[in-house]
Structure 1
Amino acid sequence: MPTADFQQTFQNAVSLQQQKKYDEALSAYKSLLEQNPDLSRDQIADISYNAALTSFNKQDFLASYVYNQKALMLRPRHSPATELALKIKTQFQVKATPHDISLIENLNKAGLEAFPVEALWVFGTVFFVIFLRSVFNYFLTRKKEILENLKFSRFAYKNYFWLVLFLVFSFLSGLKIREEQIPKALIRNEQATLRTAAGENQAALADLPGGSLVHILRVTKINDILYFQIKYPGGISGWTKKEDLELISSPNLPKD
């Protein structure tokens, strides 16, 4: 539950944004995100959207993209963030990084991303109920045929269609749940250098462009600096500093 201090800081940030004091407003929004780990997904999404809009007005389109993507990943149906995404797209696009395209990435591009897990479960449940009803009706028919000494009818193959749909939607739900459970972050700077191990003196592997979505594998601390082992989906993995990342959430990460 947000405290009175949180509410006051948030209102001050909104006021600064309305006064076009964008640097001060953005600093306040960052402080809210970093110092309030118990915020709900919706609250983080709203603050991130405000930070995105502030950054857009500053013409910092990379920061605007990162914060807005964070808002949309936490609340896909965030209407203002969806509208802002269209404006950002005219000013900034993430540079493509060569990688193997995964099944979930292909499905998301095909439209799966727009469906929440709950909707997939509802559709799957409906199809399963229809299948069970067809099975129930079939056994009622069989019972009647036995009583009337009639020739047994076969279970219509078309009824298996509902079972197949149930299995497909269950599979898609499982993929979505698994994908959502993976800790993720966005590259917040112009680029992030991936290194072979945690630490500034380690060999560089590659540079990931700003705005790239990555999976978080591990986190460790060296000399009071947090380093994250990240993986670009379908691509390379390596270590980078926390300051290069905008965390989508604060999960319980495996630590060294």
Structure 2
Amino acid sequence: MSGIILLLQFIAAVIMLPLHILNFLGFWDAIIKKLFPLFYNKLCETYNKSMDEHKRGIFSNISDFSGPSKELRLLEVGCGTGANFKFYPSGCKVTCLDINPNFQKFLSKSQAKNDHLIYERFLLASVDNMTSVADGSMDVVVCTLLACSVPNIPAILKEIQRVLRPGGAFYFIEHVASTDESSWTGFFQKVLNPSWSLIFDRCSLRKTTWKDLENAKFSELNLRHITAPTSVKLIGPHIIGYAVK
């Protein structure tokens, strides 16, 4: 089976040869950083419709984690286009963080549509190095569809725990590797992952993010596996939930 997977990976790489050449020459990263937000903006419209029930369910208790002042300070890492804003409670103070500045024009449109929130600031930074966010300064951190493109998930979880106050919560929705290695989804995730990662800005189909969350030192972890109602079966396997510091 591994031989078949390697052969199919090679065929996919040949089909994507022009992109691999651009990547080898050092041009592809700049190109994808500009193109990916355009694609992701469209994807989020479709994804939000299919995931609306799940998102409303998971974010329904965010207000429970308001701080002693009753204000809710929320940091969304990898905020992208701001697709989660409509699910946050009114008056929530939101700080946005993303490593790609090309998302900002889409982010501004989402902020204008969701004026029930208070937008504190936008930080251009990597989630594994949030030096501009103070220790224990956030009640809630939200991360959706980001872990798939981060090389070191334990590092980002450590940073998230650092910026959360004691008793604060980390909310997550992530597509992950299929837990059934013998399934067609698992098979094609293995075959297409190298080319997929190149096309979709380092996104991996094979992340086992739930294991990193289980190994992180949260006081409470509420995590469940679901099959997302998305037309792209490769990203159907999801984990969804929240963890308490």
TM-score class, shorter-chain normalisation, is under 0.3
Structure number with higher helix proportion = 1
- Structure exhibiting the larger radius of gyration computed from Cα positions: 1
TM-score relative to the length of structure 2: 0.23
